[in-house]
Structure formats: C-alpha cells, structure tokens
Amino acid sequence: MYLPRSLLAKLYTNIKQANNATTAPILILASLEPDAVCASQMLAQLLKGDYISHKIVPVPGYGVLEKIGREEIRPMMTSEGISGGTVICLGVGGLVDLGALLGIDNESDQGSFRGVEVWVIDSRRPWNLSNVFGGIPSIPQLNGDGPVIQRHTGLDGAKILSTYKPGRGGIIVCDDGDIEEELDAERDAYMALIEMPEVEENDDSDGSDTESEDEESESKEKPQPGQKRKSSDRDEDDKSSDDENRPTQRRRSNSSSPVNSPSRAPKRGLMSISGPSDFAASDSRSASPSPAQPVKQPSARTLRLRLQKLRRKNEAVLQAYYSLGASYSEPISAMIYSLASDLGREDNDLLWLAIVGITSMDLYGRSGCGVAVNVQRSNSGWHGTRGSRIRQLLRDEVRRLNAPQLSDSDSVSNRSMLPENSGIIPTTARCATDTSIKLSPEPKFLLIRHWSLHDSMLHSPYLAARLRIWSEAGRKRLSKLLAKMGISIVQSKERYTQMDIELRRGLRSKLLKYSELYNLDNLVPSIDTDGKDRGGKKEGWGFVRSWGYRATLSADDVGVIVGAILEVGKHSVKTLETGVWDRREASEFTDEDGTLEGEDWVGRFWGAYDALKRIDVLLDALPVAQYLHRAILRTGTLLLEKNQLRHLRAFRMCVVKEGPDASLFTHPSALTKLALWLGEAIAEQEKEKKGRLGHGGRGTPLVVAGLNETRGVYVVVGTGGGGGALQDRDALKARQEKRNAKTKAKELRKKNKDKVRDEKRAARRRMAEENGDEEEEETESEGSESEEDSDDEADEPKAKGFGRNKFGNAFQEVVEETQARVRIDSFEHCVVEVKKEDLSGFMESLSMKAVVG
C-alpha cells in the first residue's frame, strides 16, 4: 500500500490515538547514513512529545534486517499473543519485498501481517512494487454460507484513503509524489498480474477441434501441424521468474497471494473471466447470427495463449521499471520535517536536522542518477529543480523561525551590514545564547572554519578536480590563485578564524573575480552590490548554526563529521595513525562468510546520533573527519600519479590494497567518497581532453575496490559518471512542452503549405481546361520536412533512466552467470563484497555489462 503525502499526518494521529500502556513500543529501524540518523532523531523527538514509547535499532544491511524480523518483529504478531505493533523503516528495505524478508507475509497464511504495520520511508529508487501496490492485510470474512471473501475498507486499489483505519497491519510506503506522478503504468501492470488467473505454460488441453475463425488470425502464435512448439515463451517466463528472486525485484506469486483469492471481487476485466466467452471477439453492431449457424467461441488453448501473452506484456512493464537503474528522490529527513510541519510541531532543532540530512545527500553523490558524480555542478541540488525548490523552502523556514535579533535603534542599513548579508562567512555567534540558524554564502571549501584556508581549499573535492591538486602543477596553481587574491602562503596556512579580518571580508569578492580564470564556476554563490541575491532568494547559499560562543558550524561541516563517525568511528588521530583501531576491529569479523559478529557499527550509529544532539561530541570527532579527508587526498593522489586507473570496456577501475590508509577504505561509505573524488577528477580530464564527457555525455563510470586483508574480501563500489541534470523531471517536462510547440508549428506550416498547393493546383487546372491540355502531376520536395524531422529528433528528450547508475543490476547479472563468491548485503546496491580470489573474474564479467543507463 502507499500513503499520499497529504495523509501522512493523519496516519500519525491515528497511531497516537491508538497508543496506550499495553501497546508495544514503536520500532524504528534506521540505516547507517547521516540522512537516516537525522530522520530517526527527528521522529524520536515527535514521539517523545506525544509520550509514545519507541525503540531505535540501527540496521547495517539485509542480513541484520532479516534477523530483526525473526527476533523482534514476528513476536509482535497477534498470533503470538501480542496486540500487534508498528515498525518504521528509515532508509531500510525500500528495494526489497519486506513482507517476505521479515517473514510477516506468509503466502499460505490467510492472516498475513497479523497486526504488524510497517512504514517505509526511503529515498532510494526503484521501489519494490510488492511494497507499494501489495502489502495489504488479509481480512477473512464469511458471506453467509458462501466462501471466505476479502474486504479492504479505506483503500482505492493500493492507495490509502482518509477513511483507512490502521491496526490490521500491512506495509505502508510513504509517497513523496513519485508514485502518484510516475508509476501509473507500473500500477496497472502489477494489479493486472495480481488479478490474473494462473495458467500452466505446459497445459496443452485441446479445444483445437472447436477453434473459430478468429483463431486463424493468431496462427503465428500457435504451432502448425507437424511443427515443433517454440520454447521462447517458456524461456521468457523462466527468465521473469528468475528475476523475481533478485533483491530489487521480489514480488509474491499470484497463486498464493491473499489478494488473489478467487472470491475477491475483480477490479479489472482479467478476474471477471468465468469462461471462454469472455475472450470472444464480437461486434455489437453486427447482425445476430441465425440459429442454424452458431458462433464458435475461442478454444481454451486460444484463451490460454492470449492470457500468457498479456501476462508477459505486464511483466515486461515491471521489468523495464526495475531495469532503469538506481536513483534518489526526496531525502528521508525532508519527509519527516514535512510531517512535523503538518502537525504544527516544527522548530529550529527539527529544521536543523532536516537541513543536515538533506545536505548530506550531496556529500555521498546521491542524485537523480543514483550514486554518481554531479558533473553539472549547478545550484539545483540533488534532484534538479525539485531539489532546488526544497532548498528554497528550507531557506524560507530559516527566515521564518530565525528573525534577525535587532534592537529598535537598529536601522535597515545596520541590518544589511550583518556578516551573512554582506557576503562574509559567519564564524561566531551574535551572543552567548545565540542558537539561531543563518544563511551563509558558503564557498565550496571543506571545513573552512576548522582548518586553514590553504588546507580547506586543498582538500576540497571541487577544487581538487579543477586545479588538478594531485599534481605538482596543480598545487602551484593553487598557490598562484592565492597570490592573485593578495593572500600569502603564510597567511593562508593560518587558522581561518585567526586570519586578518580584512582578508576575510574581501575573500568573497576576490574569489568571484578570479574564479573564472581557473574554471571555478559556482565556487561561491553570486551576490549583488545591495546585499541581495537573485531577488533576495539567496539561491545557492548554505546554512550555518551557532551554539553560543562554543562553536559555529555549517550544515556541510556537520554532515562531514557525522559521516566520518559512521565510517571510521570515534577514535583519536593517534589511534588512527598507529592502526590499533583496525587490529581491534579485525576480530569482530568471521573469515567464512564475512558476517559481522561484533557490533561496532552500533556504537558508530549512536556516536553519530549523540553528535547531532551534543556539540561537545561533535567537536571531539572533528579531527577524525579531517584525518579521513587527508587520507582521501593522499590515496587519490597516489592512484592518479601512478596511473593505477585501468580502462575496461564499460568503465574504469582501480584497486586500493596497500598504503597507510588502505584500511580506512574497507568501509563502503568511505570508499564511495574516494570513488567520487576520483570520478570528479576523471570528468574534468575528459572535458579538458575531448571537450565533452565520455559515454554520450553521461561521464565515465568508475569501479573502486578496497581490500580487507583480514577477511580476504574486496569491498567494491560502482559510481556513475554523472549527468544528473538530464534527469530533472521539470526540465524534461519543459523540453517536452517545447517539442509539442514545435510539432504544432510544424502542423500549421504544413497546413498552410497544403492550402497554397491546393490553390496552385486549382489554378493549373483552370489553365489546362482553358488550353484544352491535360493536368500535369505535381511532385513536391520533402527535403524541408525531413530537415524539420531531423531537427525534432535532435531535440528529443533523453530517454527515461538516462545516466542512471545500473551497477546494482549488473552485479546481480554477474552473480547469476558466474561462480564468483559475492555478498550483496548493503542497502546501497552498487556496493558488494567479492572474495579476494574471485575479483579478476568478477571484473571481467562486469566489464561486459551496461553499468550506466
């Protein structure tokens, strides 16, 4: 089932009303990513405010999720003597059939779910359609002496209405708008498959003796006498059944689904088939046949072939959706803040958590193309115009909840002289009790308030790619840029907050002046001379919050630190440099199947959770974040200088297996950051050499493998080449409207041309009649028409799924085709673990797959 966004607050209210001392605590399952950590803390604050008991459980992957379902979720079912319960999944399980994975949707049990209600809030796409259009609890009811029927009140198909009453259980996917706007075809195909009767492929029951003339038109589909039956249909069905076993494409079989009960009232014509007559191709306008010539109905075999063809057509629609590749939609924290806003409970704390969660999407390269490099580098955010619109809403919320604290004597001119309005990066609070959120013209530097200007620029992935920081010439280019801005090397290596105030005040204007010389577009957001930015919207500006005089941090800073805690842990820099932490954690893994026996990831989750609540914990972890990004710069520089990036057929690849920082990159998220750093450098190299991106403008995909020597496995991450702006829904819509306008103009020109041609023909006809000659035939040149057609083709919008990361699909295909020992456990399906001995064969097979849409 799916819940429209407008009803999210109503469902929460129903849960609050149903909560009492006897109900089980709400179980919150959160993935180990900054967005999910922020969302879990936001949701916990809402539940605490309503005195609703809850429990937060971090989930690193599918193996732990299945264990939680077995040990904690199934005991909630009414069959176990409990009154049911609610499970909220934040970034967990949106790509798999949760009912089957958790074991709460037993296909042979008419009482599936049994009071367990699972909410799914996830930004990953594609959705598993079994969760979206299935997950409906079965409600056995007796109809007199008749059979058991199924009734579902408050549902329109799989859409939850305002009259829906929770308590019976089921899977509820919270829609951010994508399902309503984009999945009409998939919904129709899924519901049609659910309602279809089961037909055996090898059922060769006769009926050929009573075949009508209508069947002769289908002779191509039926075997002729003496001709062998084709096996292509059966092979296609076998292939579709294999696809159902994939994690991203699991769905229940129609034969055992509770909603496919024969007694259920049909919604479409497929379940209304009660006999062969329903498939009869009759014409109501034709005359009634005489009794002496009865109309023959299609045979059972013909009906079966038609049903099989329709089934394959609908399965092809679902398969096409799953094959589009990975993408990201609205962040989880944005959905939770929307819930708080609907409830009237928004405040500065919830707003800040939402801002940090949304900002973290860019840090991990999550966009409309999945995990990919944002080669466009526009201010449109993580999902084109839609992401830009959400960021603008956040800026409006900052203004609403954080009015400037000015006295009556302060004038409008004094207000414009505030640091953030004059283009200066704020580094301190206004007073000791200042905890407000401010807008700031943040440059694309890394941890600038906590590093020197030189180090902040040096470790910035944006500057590293465009200045080629990994080379000696690139570092000289950085020093030359600083010199042109009038900042000496000595001054640039001072802590930024201790630099001369005049240098800091003029930094923004100097960056705007010299950025174009070094291909640094959008290095800082532009600003007019009157202190306003694009009509006062301040598009592209960042967010900064103060904790009194203790600290002032930007949302990017917090996202980087929280991410480092999740990826590395809370260790001292000395411990990281000596490598003691790696030997300590090595004993927490088994050598057989790679299962994590220890629970160090639990401590990392709660460390990140506490850092979002306590500024002292956040500041203590700052050196860890700095150490991680130094390691990314060192390792990336080493790989590029030694030309260790190999060119394969479909992507480039490199392996991190030695060096002082190799042990850091056994964590998938840290390895992803390294891959994005390298991918951005490759994209800039391609544009400089060829003048464009490779792979048809999509950028070159990259595969990076990190060796975990203790476990004997490689952690493999596949990132796309970018092109995210081409996936902007609003941009595609505008382009389609432009194409429609061109089509109308073309039709109008053709109509006018036909009118002129008809007038010329009439004039020639009159002249021929006067002269007594025969009319000559006219041949028109179609050159202009063909040229217009070619222009339209050139302006054709990119196909749906263009540029998306398809590594998840490619990994699964390689696993099915080879004997490589591969473990797919991460919620990010572009991450896998491969046995050390099988990496070469795995990569060889992977190089033959389509990895980017």
Q: What pLDDT does 362 receive?
A: 87
Return the higher-pLDDT residue of 570 and 346: 346
Each residue of 489-506: pLDDT tens digit?
Answer: 999 999 998 898 888 888
Assess contact for 167 and 113: CB atoms under 8 A. Answer: no
Assess contact for 540 and 379: CB atoms under 8 A. Answer: yes
Residue 706, beta-bridge partner list: 656, 715
Decide if 64 is inside a domain: yes
Assess contact for 565 and 624: CB atoms under 8 A. Answer: yes
Q: What pLDDT does 482 receive?
A: 92
User: What does the DSSP assignment read for 668-720?
Assistant: HHHHHHHHHHHHHHHHHHHHHHHSS-HHHHT---EEEEEEETTTTEEEEEEEB
CA of 770: how far to CAs of 224, 759, 764, in Å?
Answer: 63, 17, 10
> Is the CA virtual torsion 160, 165, 169, 175 positive or negative?
positive
From 720, 751, 766, the end of a domain falls on: 766
Each residue of 802-845: pLDDT tens digit?
Answer: 778 899 999 999 998 888 899 999 999 999 999 999 999 999 99
**Would you give the DSSP letter of residue 382?**
G
Q: What pLDDT does 772 receive?
A: 63
Instruction: Output phi, psi for 714, to 5 deg.
Output: -105, 130
The percentage of residues in the chain with a pLDDT greater than 70, rounded to a whole number, is 71
CA of 209: how far to CAs of 212, 291, 297, 298, 815, in Å?
Answer: 9, 20, 11, 10, 47
Residues 6+ apart with CB under 8 A from 191: 133, 157, 158, 267, 268
Decide if 411 is inside a domain: no
Q: Where are the alpha helices (DSSP H) in 183-270?
A: 184-195, 232-243
Q: Where are the alpha helices (DSSP H) in 217-331?
A: 232-243, 300-322
Return the higher-pLDDT residue of 693 and 554: 554
Domain hosting residue 750, numbered range = 728-766
- For residue 135, the Cα-to-chain-centroid distance in whole angstroms is 21
Mean pLDDT across the stretch 629-656? 91
Measured CA to CA, the distance from residue 652 to residue 649 in angstroms comes to: 8
Mean pLDDT across the stretch 528-533? 46
Decide if 167 is inside a domain: yes
**Amino acid symbol at 279:** F
Measured CA to CA, the distance from residue 360 to residue 393 in angstroms comes to: 17
Measured CA to CA, the distance from residue 224 to residue 248 in angstroms comes to: 39
Provide the angle, in degrees to the nearest 10, between the axes of the packed helices 555-567 and 34-49. Answer: 100
Decide if 88 is inside a domain: yes
Each residue of 563-611: pLDDT tens digit?
Answer: 999 999 877 666 666 665 544 443 343 444 444 444 688 999 999 999 9
CA of 674: how far to CAs of 364, 637, 823, in Å?
Answer: 10, 11, 21
Q: Coil, strand or helix: which one is 436?
A: coil
Each residue of 412-458: pLDDT tens digit?
Answer: 455 555 555 666 888 888 888 889 999 998 899 999 999 999 999 99
Each residue of 738-767: pLDDT tens digit?
Answer: 777 888 888 888 888 888 888 888 888 888
User: What does the DSSP assignment read for 45-69?
Assistant: HHHHHTT--EEEEEE-SHHHHHHHI
Considering only CA atoms, which of 55, 39, 170, 44 is closest in space to residue 92?
39
Q: What pLDDT does 407 receive?
A: 43
Q: Can you give the pTM of this predicted structure?
A: 0.80
Decide if 795 is inside a domain: no
Each residue of 296-331: pLDDT tens digit?
Answer: 788 888 888 889 999 999 999 999 999 988 889 999
Q: What pLDDT does 527 receive?
A: 59
Assess contact for 173 and 294: CB atoms under 8 A. Answer: no
pLDDT band at 37 (very low <50, low <70, confident <90, very high): very high
Q: What pLDDT does 734 receive?
A: 64
Assess contact for 135 and 99: CB atoms under 8 A. Answer: yes
Q: What pLDDT does 692 receive?
A: 59
pLDDT band at 358 (very low <50, low <70, confident <90, very high): very high
**Would you give the DSSP letter of residue 372?**
B
Total Cβ atoms within 10 A of residue 129: 25
Considering only CA atoms, which of 671, 827, 736, 783 is closest in space to residue 61?
827
Assess contact for 166 and 118: CB atoms under 8 A. Answer: no
Average pLDDT, the chain: 77
**Would you give the DSSP letter of residue 805?**
B
Helix (H) and strand (E) counts for the chain? 30, 23
pLDDT band at 15 (very low <50, low <70, confident <90, very high): confident
Return the higher-pLDDT residue of 534 and 472: 472
> Which H helix or E strand runs over 437?
strand 437-440
Q: What pLDDT does 27 receive?
A: 94
Q: What pLDDT does 114 receive?
A: 82
CA of 87: how far to CAs of 55, 71, 137, in Å?
Answer: 10, 13, 15
Instruction: Output phi, psi for 703, to 5 deg.
Output: -120, 125
Considering only CA atoms, which of 595, 819, 816 is closest in space to residue 66?
595
Query: End-to-end distance of the chain based on CA atoms, in angstroms?
Result: 29
Assess contact for 161 and 154: CB atoms under 8 A. Answer: yes
For 170, counting Cβ atoms within 10 Å of its Cβ (0-12 exposed, 13-18 middle, 19+ buried), the class is buried
User: Residue 539 above 50 pLDDT?
Assistant: yes
Assess contact for 528 and 448: CB atoms under 8 A. Answer: no
Task: State both tokens at 480.
Answer: 């030359």
Q: What pLDDT does 339 receive?
A: 94
User: Residue 132 above 90 pLDDT?
Assistant: yes
Assess contact for 306 and 835: CB atoms under 8 A. Answer: no
Residues in the chain: 853
Q: What pLDDT does 375 receive?
A: 56
686 φψ region: left (φ > 0), alpha (ψ -120 to 50), beta (else): alpha
CA of 262: how far to CAs of 196, 270, 378, in Å?
Answer: 10, 12, 54
User: Residue 255 above 70 pLDDT?
Assistant: no
Q: What pLDDT does 783 receive?
A: 42
CA of 837: how far to CAs of 432, 709, 713, 833, 842, in Å?
Answer: 59, 12, 8, 12, 10
- Between β-strands 646-647 and 652-656, what pairing exists: parallel, antiparallel or unpaired? antiparallel
Q: What pLDDT does 56 receive?
A: 95
Each residue of 695-739: pLDDT tens digit?
Answer: 555 668 899 999 998 899 999 999 986 554 444 445 555 666 777
Considering only CA atoms, which of 2, 32, 74 is closest in space to residue 568?
32
From 164, 195, 226, the end of a domain falls on: 195
Decide if 637 is inside a domain: no
**Amino acid symbol at 516:** E
Decide if 539 is inside a domain: no
Return the higher-pLDDT residue of 143 and 688: 688
Measured CA to CA, the distance from residue 136 to residue 149 in angstroms comes to: 14
Q: Is cis: bond before 126, omega within 30 of 0?
A: yes
Q: How many structural domains are present in the chain?
A: 2
- For residue 426, the Cα-to-chain-centroid distance in whole angstroms is 33
Q: What pLDDT does 543 receive?
A: 94
Q: What pLDDT does 606 receive?
A: 94
460-467: list long-range contacts, CB under 8 Å, 24+ apart.
461/676, 461/677, 461/680, 462/377, 462/520, 462/523, 462/680, 463/520, 464/633, 464/636, 464/677, 464/680, 464/681, 465/677, 465/680, 465/681, 465/683, 465/684, 466/518, 466/519, 466/520, 466/684, 467/518
Q: What pLDDT does 417 receive?
A: 55
Return the higher-pLDDT residue of 260 and 451: 451
User: Residue 486 above 70 pLDDT?
Assistant: yes
| Domain CATH code at residue 150 | 3.40.50
Decide if 814 is inside a domain: no
From 150, 180, 195, the end of a domain falls on: 195
Residues 6+ apart with CB under 8 A from 351: 337, 394, 397, 398, 401, 437
Task: State both tokens at 5.
Answer: 């966004």
Residues 6+ apart with CB under 8 A from 105: 97, 99, 112, 113, 135, 171, 252
Task: State both tokens at 93.
Answer: 């399980």
Measured CA to CA, the distance from residue 557 to residue 446 in angstroms comes to: 8
Considering only CA atoms, which of 380, 360, 351, 359 is closest in space to residue 368?
380
Considering only CA atoms, which of 484, 473, 530 is closest in space to residue 506?
484
pLDDT band at 67 (very low <50, low <70, confident <90, very high): very high
- Between β-strands 542-546 and 437-440, what pairing exists: parallel, antiparallel or unpaired? antiparallel
